[in-house]
């Protein structure tokens, strides 16, 4: 399996996030990357792509603009310098959203664009758990570079690739950040795969609903979005991810949410995986993107499923049976000591099941 690394990931280091009523150290930390890298290196199924295979920044910007709005990208690119120029000392703090416009039915409006930085940050974010730092933009663009290269490799005939990156992406929507995410790598990958394949499926197996990815493709029938996740009635992102969200207009029938109760173990989770796999096959997917979060692990500090390290091997083998060229993107997983082994188990078993199938 080809692995594409975001070597800019270390530029994004959040200090604190608002979590359950207080500021706590960020869960989405650089060591997550290193634990995964170490696990992959200790096994022999990975080929690490060379940096020369990555697209340049101009090209990357163009691909990212197929997913995210120009206004959002302009905000994100300049947010750090805007923040620093606001007040002396800001360079030693993160910008953390704290105020948001409610939907227009409440009478709030952004028709006259706010000049205030906090007000603008609120327009482009949906939670207070996602600090914007000096290197967030660069790290997110580095992730997009790796994603584009990984998707191109699969478009050009590779059986599978893995994007080893952070910050993650699947909560980022067309014009907003949140859930530790800034650029939706899975959506970027699917968009590139669509240039080559008529029908692309996205099967999101992170603990949290992939709200950003769902929203990117909600009115399209050519990219089928599926997510297995904790029921949003109890779990983040709360306001999206219910089973009755089936898609809109042309996209009706091309979004599938499979919410599960908190406490689900592999027995319950794997039934949803079967439903998802059947849907991918019936759709006739020619390529697949798997936003791979391992915050479904029993030891995850912020989640609530009970998957075990060995279960991730079973998942990888099952995904391989879909017989689709596949791009995996690294998403959540916060039990840092276990994240590497859990990710490597999915990818290695996928890889071996693929080889043995010929």
CA dist list (Å): 254 to 111, 185, 215: 32, 20, 12
Q: How many residues can be counted in the chain?
A: 358
How far is residue 276's CA from residue 297's CA, in Å, rounded to a whole number?
Answer: 19
DSSP tag of 249: G
Pick from 16, 69, 128, 275 the residue near ligand Q9C by CB under 6 A.
128
**Shortest Å distance, C-beta 277 to ligand Q9C:** 22
Minimal distance, residue 333 CB to ligand Q9C, in Å: 7
Closest CA to 315 of 254, 250, 246, 228: 228
User: Which structure tokens are listed for 230?
Assistant: 């904790």
- Scanning 83-91, 125-133, 217-225, 309-317 for contacts with ligand Q9C by CB under 6 A, the matching segment is 125-133
- Element containing residue 43 per DSSP (H, E): none
Choose from Zn ion, ligand Q9C, none: what does 146 bind? Cβ within 5-8 Å by kind.
none
Distance CA 197, CA 285 (A): 9
- Of the candidates 12, 68, 170, 171, the residue annotated as catalytic is 171
Q: How far, CA to CA in Å, does 151 sit from each of 63, 236, 317? A: 11, 28, 21
**Buried/exposed 280-295: b ≥16 CB within 10 Å, e otherwise:** beebebebbbbbbbbb
131 binds Zn ion (CB under 5 A): no
| Shortest distance (Å) from residue 241 CB to Zn ion | 11
245, 295, 311, 348: which one binds ligand Q9C (CB under 6 A):
295
List 208, 209, 220, 318, residue binding Zn ion (CB under 5 A): 208
Tokens coding 71: 């206004």
Q: Which does 171 bind (CB under 5 to 8 A by kind): Zn ion, ligand Q9C, none?
A: ligand Q9C
Candidate list 94, 204, 206, 311; residue touching ligand Q9C; CB under 6 A: 206
List, in sequence order, every residue forming a beta bridge with 278; answer none if it has no partner.
Answer: none
Are 91 and 84 contacting, i.e. CB atoms less than 8 angstroms apart? yes
| Window contacting Zn ion (CB under 5 A); options: 141-149, 157-165, 288-296, 321-329 | 288-296
124 binds Zn ion (CB under 5 A): no
Q: Is 295 in the site for Zn ion (CB under 5 A)?
A: yes
The SS3 assignment for 292 reads: strand
Among the listed residues 171, 194, 199, 229, the single contact to ligand Q9C using CB under 6 A: 171
Is residue 92 within a helix (H) or strand (E), and if so which, with residue range?
none
Across the beta sheet with 326-330, the strand order is 47-48, 2-5, 160-164, 326-330, 287-292, 200-204, 223-230, 255-260
By CB under 6 A, the residues from 307 to 346 that bind ligand Q9C are 331-332
Residues 50-109 that bind ligand Q9C (CB under 6 A): none
Instruction: Give the span between the Cα atoms of 248 and 219, in whole angstroms.
Output: 5
Whose Cβ is closer to ligand Q9C: residue 186's or residue 285's? 186
Binder of Zn ion out of 4, 83, 197, 207 (CB under 5 A): 207
Number of residues that bind ligand Q9C (CB under 6 A): 17
User: Using DSSP, how many helices (H) and how many strands (E) does the chain show?
Assistant: 10, 10
179 binds, among ligand Q9C, Zn ion, none (CB under 5 to 8 A by kind): ligand Q9C
Q: Is 10 a catalytic residue?
A: no
Q: Does 241 participate in binding ligand Q9C (rule CB under 6 A)?
A: no
Taking CB under 5 A as the criterion, the residue among 178, 232, 293, 316 binding Zn ion is 293
Interface residues with Zn ion (CB under 5 A) are 206-208, 293, 295, 332
Active site members? 171
């Amino acid at each position: 399996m080809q692995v594409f690394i975001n070597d800019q990931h270390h530029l994004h280091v959040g200090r604190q996030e608002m979590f359950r009523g207080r500021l706590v150290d960020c869960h989405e930390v650089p060591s997550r990357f290193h634990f995964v890298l170490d696990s992959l290196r200790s096994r022999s199924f990975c080929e690490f792509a060379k940096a020369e295979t990555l697209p340049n920044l101009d090209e990357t910007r163009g691909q990212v603009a197929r997913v995210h709005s120009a206004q959002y990208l302009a905000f994100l690119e300049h947010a750090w310098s805007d923040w620093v120029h606001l007040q002396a000392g800001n360079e030693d703090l993160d910008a953390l959203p704290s105020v948001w416009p409610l939907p227009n039915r409440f009478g709030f409006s952004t028709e006259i664009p706010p000049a205030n930085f906090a007000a603008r940050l609120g327009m482009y974010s949906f939670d207070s758990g996602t600090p914007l730092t000096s290197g967030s933009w660069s790290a997110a663009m580095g992730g997009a570079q790796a994603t584009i290269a990984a998707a191109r490799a699969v478009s050009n005939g590779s059986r599978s690739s893995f994007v080893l990156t952070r910050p993650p992406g699947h909560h980022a929507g067309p014009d907003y950040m949140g859930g530790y995410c800034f650029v939706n790598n899975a959506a970027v990958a699917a968009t590139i795969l669509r240039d080559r394949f008529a029908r692309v499926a996205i099967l999101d197996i992170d603990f949290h609903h992939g709200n950003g990815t769902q929203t990117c493709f909600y009115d399209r029938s050519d990219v089928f979005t599926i997510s297995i996740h904790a029921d949003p009635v109890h779990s983040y992102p709360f306001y999206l991810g219910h089973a009755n969200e089936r898609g809109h207009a042309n996209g009706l029938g091309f979004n599938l949410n499979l919410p599960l109760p908190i406490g689900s173990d592999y027995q319950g989770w794997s039934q949803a995986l079967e439903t998802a796999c059947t849907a991918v096959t019936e759709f006739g997917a020619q390529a697949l993107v798997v936003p791979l979060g391992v915050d479904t692990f029993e030891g995850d500090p912020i989640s609530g499923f009970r998957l075990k390290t060995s279960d991730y091997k079973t998942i990888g083998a099952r995904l391989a049976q879909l017989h689709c060229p596949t791009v995996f993107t690294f998403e959540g997983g916060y039990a840092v000591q276990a994240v590497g082994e859990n990710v490597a188990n999915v990818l290695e078993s996928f890889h071996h099941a693929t080889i043995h199938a010929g």
